[in-house]
Amino acid sequence: MLEIIIARHGETDWNASETFRGRADVALNETGERQAARLGEYLAGEKIDFIYSSPLQRAVKTAQAIAAPQNLEVNVVSNLVDIDYGEWQGMSRREVEEKYPEPYRDWLDLPEQVRIPGGESLEDVRSRVWPFVEDAVMLCGEGRLVLVAHRVVNKVLICALLGLDNSHFWNVRQDTGALTRFSLEGGRLVLTSHNDTSYLTTLKAARPGDF
């Protein structure tokens, strides 16, 4: 039976400081490295057939921690790279609120209609992620597929797998180090767990949550 596991990378200092990351190749911090290690330990008892990762190091390092106990190679694919935050990249949430009040308000209220200044829209993200995932699922067949990516990418993908449009973006939560699972049951994809961080309960993230 096909299972799709969607993982968000571990914490970085930019997550902790609520700084927009995007294409910036920010490394995992100490907590993020521990989160990645826990992910690998948690999934070690499950046979994984394919692991795909965004090319950014915070995702690759997380994917490698999952792959190591499986003796698998991580397949790095550009389709899973984080959203291009354009002019917001490297800015804190507060800075964006102050310098881009209207676009940021729209981002919170109507995310499906926003193109980030100098960057991507959610539809841009979906248009590159979804065809890749369809191909990866076909290749995986009835195996277990792990995708390691980012908050925005994962939210958009989860919406797509549930048959929801991008207006539901903020209805989906993605904490650092979290796992979301879908299985193919009776010819349809079923969400079996969402934003699972139960294996991280003894780790104290600097700012646990969805940023």
Backbone phi, psi, residue 181, to 5°: -125, 140
Residue 150 known to be catalytic? yes
Residue 194 known to be catalytic? no
127: three-class secondary structure by DSSP: helix
Tokens of 33: 């490295």
Tokens of 85: 């935050």
Backbone phi, psi, residue 51, to 5°: -125, 125
DSSP state of 46: S
Cα–Cα distance list, 66 to 77, 95, 100 (Å): 16, 35, 38
- Identify the bridge partners of residue 6 per DSSP, sorted by sequence position: 147, 180
Cα–Cα distance list, 174 to 10, 171, 208 (Å): 11, 10, 10
The answer to whether the beta carbons of residues 87 and 114 sit under 8 Å apart is no
Q: Among the options 4, 6, 7, 9, which is catalytic? A: 9
Q: Among the options 8, 21, 34, 150, which is catalytic? A: 150
One-letter amino acid of 154: N
Catalogue the active-site residues. Answer: 9, 150
